[in-house]
Amino acid sequence: MAKTKIKYICQDCGYESPKWMGKCPGCHQWNTMAEEKEKRISSRHAIGQNPSQKTSRPESITAIQSKQEMRFPTDMPELNRVLGGGIVPGSLVLIGGDPGIGKSTLLLQVSSQLANRQINVLYVSGEESVRQTKLRADRLGINVEHLYVMAETNLQEVANAIEEMNPGLVIVDSIQTVYQEEISSAPGSVSQVRECTGHLMRIAKGKGIPIFIVGHVTKEGAIAGPRLLEHMVDTVLYFEGERHHTYRILRSVKNRFGSTHEMGIFEMKEEGLKEVTNPSEIFLEERSQGVAGSTVVASMEGTRPVLVEIQALISPASFGNPRRMATGLDHNRVPLLMAVLEKRAGLLLQNQDAYVKVAGGMKLDEPAIDLAVAISIASSFRDQPTRPDDILIGEVGLTGEVRRVSRIEQRIQEASKLGFKRAIVPERNLSGWSKPDTIEVVGVRSVQEALQIALGGA
């Protein structure tokens, strides 16, 4: 008879302990240790194990034939960009996001597009009935014969359906609802999530079927379950955005078949998600003209330049300790740049409250936005607007120098395409590329120089 063992597992990080503890030693979170029963079973009875399967042997890397990964693209270029060019057969893709953000809608639309190409798609829903999925499909205008829907949470039944159908794509919504009967813990627990993902990975690799799995997220925004879940899959996508705004951003944070810096932008409409082909226009369409504290920067999101507005508001501090707040960028960057402006440019900012925001809900984390943030702060402090057709690009060092950035040509071309007339860039970025005739490119060495040019030396 199999022996049952009691253990306590942290539901956030997967730390295991033989006894209960109030604080997890792994992630230092309180009240996350949950009791689970571990039942040891023979490996020959485990799901997905084939006793007759031959074991692999080591091969010399020089004897292995390299070949390009075959992909089949969807009808969504934005999704193809994030995936690295399309869906790779045999890949396991994890997509996470807040409830109601549009994960199921996106995957149902992708399923419909592939089913229109006579590819059998199996959509497994563990949270909705078949009728509920049909109602959502009707709302999106989806009615395709090759799209099969299954409301099931037992992983063995899902595996049997995959074996019987041999579909071209499988979607499991969500991984926290499916379970294996051999594991006594509840669905969504660390053990169930880990084992179910492992079994789906073996199916994907063994049969060459791409599988998309949906993951719930915690209140901090990370995918729920053990961190091991993200290590097991090939690609991790995050679907971001505010539920009360129409724009959604799909980011890749891990991708074994492409870049991890790509971003796709969608707009949520009544008939489903629509792609945004020119996000720079969207982020700048509501920009106020002639207002102090507003600048525009060209940020690289993977291989795509995106123009976004950075807003700053500087006001006298009402209390002894001034506030520093940032939305859409690292909050530590604001006091750092304010210290540089105070020390190198002579702006008295130590008694000022500072609020900096990236307009449009974007999140920027590259150093090339430093110069635009610094000029926005100085513009608001002096109450003097910059030119509305100026764009600022550059990294600011602690000594006040403006350092070179990457992909300057693509950034300038995007700014020129949207009608900007002058670009203030690092001086070391001026050589080695051809400048468009429609935009003036000005090189600066220091943040003092940039202030004199952008604000007219006021």
DSSP of 314-362: EEE-SSSS--EEEESS-TTHHHHHHHHHHHHS----TTEEEEEEETTS-
Task: Name the percent of the chain lying above pLDDT 90.
Answer: 58
CA 429 to chain centroid: 29
What confidence tens digit (pLDDT) does each residue in 412-449 have?
A: 999 999 999 999 999 999 998 988 999 999 999 999 99
Binding residue ranges: 97-104
d(CA 236, CA 240): 13
Overall average pLDDT of the 369-384 stretch: 96
Q: Do β-strands 33-39 and 169-173 pair in parallel, antiparallel, or remain unpaired?
A: unpaired
β-bridge partners, 152: none
Count of residues for the chain? 458
Q: Which residues of 228-242 are buried (b: 16+ CB within 10 A; e: fewer)?
A: ebbeebbbbbbbbbe
- Which sign, positive or negative, has the C-alpha torsion 138, 144, 150, 155? negative
Residue 3's pLDDT band (boundaries 50, 70, 90)?
low
d(CA 150, CA 148): 7
Least confident of 63-77, 110-124, 217-231, 310-324: 217-231
Phi, psi dihedral angles at 298 (to 5 degrees): -100, 110
Least confident of 85-99, 208-222, 305-319, 339-353: 208-222
Residue 127 has pLDDT above 80, yes or no: yes
Q: Does pTM surpass 0.85?
A: no
What confidence tens digit (pLDDT) does each residue in 140-192 have?
A: 999 999 999 999 999 999 999 999 999 999 999 989 899 998 887 788 888 88
Binding residue ranges for ATP: 97-104
Asked whether 33 and 20 are in contact (CB, 8 A), the reply is yes
